[in-house]
A = this chain, B = another copy of it.
Amino acid sequence: MKRTLLALLLTAAAPVSAQQSITTLPAPVVADSRVAALRDGALTNDHYAWDLTEGLTTEVGQRLAATEAEARARDWAVKRLTAMGFANVHVEPFTMPVWTRGAESAEILSPFPQKLAVAALGYSGSTGPNGITGGIVYFDSVDALRIAPDSAVRGKIVFIDHHMMPAQDGSGYGQFGAPRRQGPTIASLKGAIGIVIRSIGTDHHRNPHTGVQYFTDGAEPIPAGALTVPDAEQLVRILKRGMPVTMRLTLVSEKHEGGQSGNVIAEVPGRDPKAPILLVGGHLDSWDLGTGAIDDASGVAIMTAAAKHIMDAGRPLRTIRVVWFGAEEPGGFGGKAYAEAHGREAYAIAGESDFGADRIWRFASKLMTTDPAAYAQLAASLAPLGITKNDKGGADGTDVEPTIDAGAPWISLSQDGTRYFDYHHTPDDTLDKIDPAQLRQNVAAWTTVLATLSGGIESGAKQPKRR
- A-side interface residues toward B, CB under 8 Å? 54, 57-62, 69, 111-115, 117, 204-207, 229-230, 233-234, 237-238, 241, 290-291, 426-428, 430-433
A115 CA to B291 CA, complexed, in Å: 10
Q: Which chain B residues lie closer than 8 Å to A206 at the CB level?
A: 207, 290, 426-428, 430
Given known A58-B237, A205-B207, A238-B58, contact A230–B114 (CB-CB < 8 A): no
Contacts of A433 in B (CB 8 A): 204
Q: Out of B234, B291, B427, name the residue touching A291 (CB < 8 Å).
A: B234
Residues of chain B within 8 A of A114, CB atoms compared: 60-62, 291
Copies of chain A in the complex: 2
Q: Which residue on B lies nearest to A68, using beta carbons?
A: B113
What are 25 A-to-B residue pairs whose CB atoms are below 8 Å? Answer: A54-B237, A57-B234, A58-B237, A58-B238, A58-B241, A59-B112, A59-B238, A61-B113, A62-B115, A114-B291, A204-B430, A204-B432, A205-B207, A205-B428, A206-B207, A206-B426, A206-B427, A206-B430, A230-B430, A230-B431, A233-B431, A233-B432, A234-B291, A234-B430, A237-B431
A180 to B75, CA, bound (A): 39
Among B59, B115, B230, B431, point to the contact of A432 (Cβ < 8 A). Answer: B230
Question: Which of B229, B234, B237, B427 is the one whose CB lies under 8 Å from A117?
Answer: B427
Q: A113: which B residues are within 8 A, CB to CB?
A: 61, 69
Determine if A431 and B234 form an interchain contact, defined as CB atoms under 8 angstroms apart: yes
**Contact A60:B112 (CB < 8 A) given known A206-B290, A290-B206:** yes
Please give me the 9 A-B residue pairs with the lowest Cβ-Cβ distance, nearest first. A61-B114, A206-B427, A230-B430, A58-B237, A204-B432, A59-B112, A205-B205, A206-B428, A230-B432
Q: With a CB–CB cut-off of 8 A, which chain B residues contact A237?
A: 54, 58, 431
Complex alpha-carbon distance, A119 and B205, angstroms: 17
Q: Which residues of B contact A117 (CB under 8 A)?
A: 427
In angstroms, Cα B290 to Cα A366, docked, is: 49
In the bound assembly, the distance between CA atoms of A466 and B69 in angstroms comes to 62
Which one, B57, B59, B207, B229, contacts A207 given CB within 8 A? Answer: B207
A100 to chain B, nearest CB (A): 13
Point out the residues of chain B lying under 8 angstroms from A234, CB to CB: 57-58, 61, 291, 430-431
Complex interface: chain B residues within 8 A of A291 (CB): 114, 234
Q: Which residues of B contact A62 (CB under 8 A)?
A: 114-115
* Contact A230-B428, Cβ < 8 Å, known A237-B54, A290-B206: yes
Q: Which residue of B has the minimal Cβ distance to A422?
A: B205
Residues of B within 8 A of A111 (CB): 59
Beta-carbon contact of A112 and B58 below 8 Å: yes
